[in-house]
Structure 1
Amino acid sequence: MSHKSEDPELSAPARSLQLGLILAVSLHAFDELVIAIALPTIARDLGGGDWYGVTLASYILAGLVSVVWAGSSIDRRGPLRIFVVGYSLFAVGLILATLASNMWEFVAARVIQGFGGGISFTVAYAITNIVLPKDQRPRMVAWLDSAWLIPSLLAPAIGGYIVDYLNWHWVFIAQLPFVLIAGILLYPRLKPLNKTPAPGSQDSRRAIGRALRIAGGAGLFVTVIAQPVNWFWLILLPLSVALVWRPFLKVMPPGFATARVGLAAAVMLHFWLFYAFYAAELFMPLIMIEFRGLSSSVTGLAFTSCAITWVAASFFQAWLCTRVSLFYSLFLGMCITTLSVAAAASLLLPQVPYWVVYPAWAVAGVGMGISFNTVVSATMDYTREGEEGATSTANGIAGSLAIGLAAGVGGAIINHGEQAGVGFASSLGLVWVMAGIACLACFGVIWARFRGVDQPH
């Protein structure tokens, strides 16, 4: 039975659900933006500078498990059960991160928190697909993107102030009341969407097993490459790839490996888009704080500018998609994103003033707002009814794996550069080269699979 309503005006319960989803995504956004600002200080305080990339990746890769579990659970049972379990774990992770006294404890807390936090993307976008008809989805996606707006204004300033003048532990304590509020808002609204498990749906245990292999293999990969090169690489790197490859393809749309026209190509584009953007953004705090000597508060302003323009551009894309082709929207967004990533790399030149990053990353938000909103709307339009959770899972796992690999590979590049005596700026420059390669991959998918496509039907 479909929950989609053709009424252009949302009912009061639907508006409450919308508000709850926006708050839940805002909470996830706040945590992600705060950790980006706080992690250089946390790593220095806990003596884990070499684990910078692994720490970033641990949260994201742990989220892979919950993303897959959430998608399978939503398709079989509805969203309530996975929501309760996920948000309970998210709260536990916040508490453990607050109490961490060394890097290993902190990484363990981030794994638990990532497992819980990973459900927010899946639940929010799957519910959008379940409740709303096609013509209303782009606007709701824009509203979900707007859930980054308030955190983008508050998180860098609050996080920077806490790190610079208080104690970083309070970054996590401050989030706990909002977890409770989100739970109170969403629990009664998600309960009516529960359903009897469909007999033909993917088995939940099998889905979780695949997710564990993907996350475990990717985690092994980023951990191994962060270590000095030795003979263990010859054994563990192929093992990590073998662990990931088959289960990853199982949860991706058919034809993903070749970026088949349609849903598979859209999810593939999602992967490379996120790698390109986050390979740059995740390591920007290192450039500004460690390389340029700026404070956490000043660094946070770049994230603020990007998040605000991302939200504004997502609403612009909701208007744009009714007037131009899918190809044009994707190509325009990717051009803007690529130019901005290149401009941000100029910070590695000491003679370039640090304030250049603010307009550069604000424009990057415009590119991502157009590109990401277009990709997500396209995946929804290509999805058959009853498979909303599977598509949301594919989107979530592609994006999470891309961010996790961007963090892990970038951290490994910096570690190996330090071990080889290569300058910090040169190592970070290679991280940006990887981001540029991902941008080229995006253009390849757009040109080969979306050229001539108007809009999905």
Structure 2
Amino acid sequence: MSTATAERIWSPRYVWVTLGAVAMIFLAAIQSLAVTTVMPLVSADLGGEALYAVAFSGTLATSVIGMVAVGAWCDRSTPIAPLATAVLLFVLGLLVAGFAPSMEVLVAGRLLQGLGTGGQTVALYVVVARVFPAGMHGRVFAAFSAAWVVPSLIGPSLAGAVAQFLHWRWVFLGVAALTAAAFALVWLRLRGRDLATSHPDRSAVATRLLWALLVAAGALALSLAGETGPWMPVVIAASLLVVVASLRPLLPRRTLLAGRGLPGVVLMRALIAGSLFGAEIYLPKLLIDEYGFSPVWAGLGLTAAALLWAAGAAAQGRWGDALGNSRITLLGTALLFAATTTATATALWHLDPVVLVVGWSLGGAGMGLMYPRITVLTLAYSTPQNQGFNSSALSISDSIGSAVVIATMGIVFTALSGTGAGFSAVFAIAAALALLALVPGLRLGHAHETPRR
């Protein structure tokens, strides 16, 4: 791809859409990194240690409902109104969490926030598909990943400083205000564009929404299984059954069987997301609980990984076509496995925290290679009529994969909390998932994701 092609996303025709979309990703990155950093303090302040994992997995679970609803809405019309609705829900959820008097209310705000987060992601993917030519998609998604650079530098430590010197509530309330301001810019730049598909999908969506509700309910039940006492094994089994059965209609056929092409793309996303994000929420907790780090320094522990994520995304955007999907899979999963095994060893043998931080950064590099490539492949396998469905399927696999893994890790961590093996166990689960991602990762295929010359 030529330098001229690379620069076109910043040309006058696209620059405002690019800036607006990148701003939305930037704020999502700030929010994600900030909450991961301050949640140990939040749970301690509100007496909600038992709901620590639910505060993350619950948000991911309800995001599925937003993904399905917005994906269907986008397939019928322009993505502008769905994006506006998603942003409204996201901001409302942040406000509820920011003013929460108890952990239960905070979790409720996080559930509402999830509805908006899921819808916002899908709507932005459809905006990219309908505004930018296919040959520019890789560059746009590389820019999305690069939008994590500044949040990676300042987000975790800034969130820790805000929580330490002001109050953790401002982490939620501040992001809410900035998101509202950023969306005003996005809406002004998109409202005059015709982004509706020429052949809208008119199929019924009620059934898809019902499946999404069941998936979210199953994931939430799994998150709360640890609180059900002797019924826990039954709740876990029933929840997993509901999740798997309800997911099938929301994903491309043969996804759960790692089918070649789009099904493999979607399944790989679930596995690598579960591996990294499931383990990542325990990284600052380990640094604070076991090493005595302050929130500021615990936040800095996430910075190196996020910076290398951006570097990996930039490398994928420039050399991804030359590397090919199989090499990206092998290199990316190897880096993710190295990061999670390093974290396991650190927790197990109480190694120097520098080992943990440096090792964890490798996972960021691997995800930077794989994440934008998977998104490019999803759009390459799509048509204008199913861009919304496929984009929502990708985001659903991401969120439910993470939610199920986080819920499982929460159960394991709580069960082993008295033995001192909780941290090493959750990181070992993440390492196993990184290896398992090779199965669909080597079946990605090609969908003419590069323009014909």
Q: Same fold (TM over 0.5)?
A: yes
Q: What does residue 428 of structure 1 align with?
A: 423
CA contact (8 A) 2:214 2:243 kept: yes
Q: How far apart are the structure 2 equivalents of 1:287 and 1:7?
A: 41
The CA deviation at 1:120 is 2.6
| Residues 330 and 375, structure 1, Cα contact 8 Å, conserved in 2 | no
Partner deviation per Cα, 1:404-451 (whole Å, 9 max, x = no partner): 122211111111123xx322xx1111111211221121122234x248
The TM-score normalised by the length of structure 2 is 0.92
Q: Does 1:339 align with 2:326?
A: no
Tell me, in whole angstroms, the C-alpha distance in 1 between the residues paired with 2:319 and 2:271: 22
| Cα distance per residue 1:238-286 (max 9 Å; x no partner) | 4423432333111101221211111001111111111111222111112
For 1:375, the equivalent position in structure 2 comes to 374
Question: Does 1:213 find its partner at 2:214?
Answer: yes
Task: Tell me the residue number matched to 2:259.
Answer: 260
User: 1:290-369 to 2 correspondence within 5 Å?
Assistant: 290-349=289-348, 351-369=350-368
TM-aligned CA distance change 1:454 to 1:385, over 3 Å: closer
Aligned residues of 2:85 and 2:116 also touching (Cα < 8 A)? yes
Partners of 2:211 and 2:403 in 1: how far apart?
17
CA distance in structure 2 between the partners assigned to 1:310 and 1:274 by the alignment: 13
Q: Which residue of 2 aligns with 1:69?
A: 69
Relative to structure 1, the CA distance from residue 198 to residue 312 in structure 2 (aligned partners, 3 Å threshold; closer, same or farther) is same
Equivalent in the alignment of 2:285: 286
In structure 2, distance between residues paired with 1:174 and 1:324 = 41
In structure 2, the partner of 1:389 is: 388
User: 1:323, CA displacement in angstroms?
Assistant: 1.4
Greater mean deviation of Cα atoms: 189-198 or 160-169 = 189-198
- Unpaired runs of 5+ residues, structure 1, are 1-5
Aligned equivalent of 1:443: 438
2:284 touches 2:301 (CA, 8 Å); kept in 1?
no
The question of whether the paired residues in 1 share the 8 Å contact of 2:378 and 2:390 is answered with yes
Matched residue count: 444
Of the structure 1 ranges 211-220 and 184-193, higher mean CA displacement relative to structure 2 is found in: 184-193
1:367-396 deviation digits (Å, cap 9, x = unpaired): 111121222222222222321111110110
Given that 1:321 and 1:329 are in contact with CA atoms closer than 8 Å, whether structure 2 keeps it comes out as yes
Instruction: Name the residue aligned to 2:273.
Output: 274
CA distance in 1, matches of 2:14, 2:175: 25
Does 2:49 align with 1:52?
Answer: no
Contact 1:8 1:136 in 2 (8 A): no
Counterparts of 2:386 and 2:90, CA distance in 1: 26
Task: Report the Cα distance in structure 2 between the residues aligned to 1:329 and 1:196, rounded to whole angstroms.
Answer: 32
Q: State the shift of 1:351 in Å.
A: 4.8
Tell me whether 6-15 or 60-69 shows the greater mean CA deviation: 6-15
AA matched with 2:439 = G
Residues 30 and 56 of structure 1, relative CA distance in 2, 3 Å threshold = same
Equivalent residue runs for 1:114-125 within 5 Å: 114-125=114-125
Structure 1 residues 33 and 199: alpha-carbon distance in aligned structure 2, compared to 1, 3 A threshold: closer
SS of the residue aligned with 1:372? Answer: helix
The correspondence of residues 104-119 of structure 1 with structure 2, limited to 5 A, is: 104-119=104-119
What's the RMSD between the two structures over aligned residues? Answer: 2.2
For residues 146 and 346 of structure 2, what CA distance do their matches in structure 1 show? 28
TM normalised by structure 1 equals 0.91
Q: Is the 8 A contact 2:222 2:408 kept in 1?
A: no
Correspondence for 1:150:
150
CA distance in 2, matches of 1:188, 1:199: 24
Matched, 1:246 2:245: yes
Structure 1 residue 199: Cα displacement: 5.9
Q: Is the 8 A contact 1:338 1:436 kept in 2?
A: yes
Is contact 2:377–2:449 with CA below 8 Å preserved after alignment? Answer: yes
Q: Which residue of 2 aligns with 1:176?
A: 176
Indicate the residue corresponding to 1:127 in structure 2: 127
Q: Which residue of 1 aligns with 2:40?
A: 40
Paired AA for residue 267 in structure 1: V
> What is the aligned partner in structure 2 of residue 203 from structure 1?
204
CA contact (8 A) 2:58 2:219 kept: no
Measure the CA separation in 2 of the matches of 1:431 and 1:326.
29
Distance in 2 of aligned mates of 1:432 and 1:389 = 34
Separation (CA, whole Å) in 2 of partners of 1:332 and 1:245 = 29
Partner of 1:189: 189
Mapped to 2, the partners of 1:159 and 1:109 lie a distance apart of 19
Name the CA shift for 1:66/1:161 in 2 (closer, same or farther; >3 Å). same
Q: Secondary structure at the match of 2:242?
A: helix
CA distance in structure 2 between the aligned counterparts of 1:66 and 1:182, rounded to whole angstroms = 20
Call closer, same or farther: CA 1:196–1:122 in 2, change over 3 Å: closer
State the alpha-carbon separation in 2 of the partners of residues 199 and 328 from structure 1.
37
Does the 8 Å CA contact 1:134/1:381 hold for their aligned counterparts?
yes
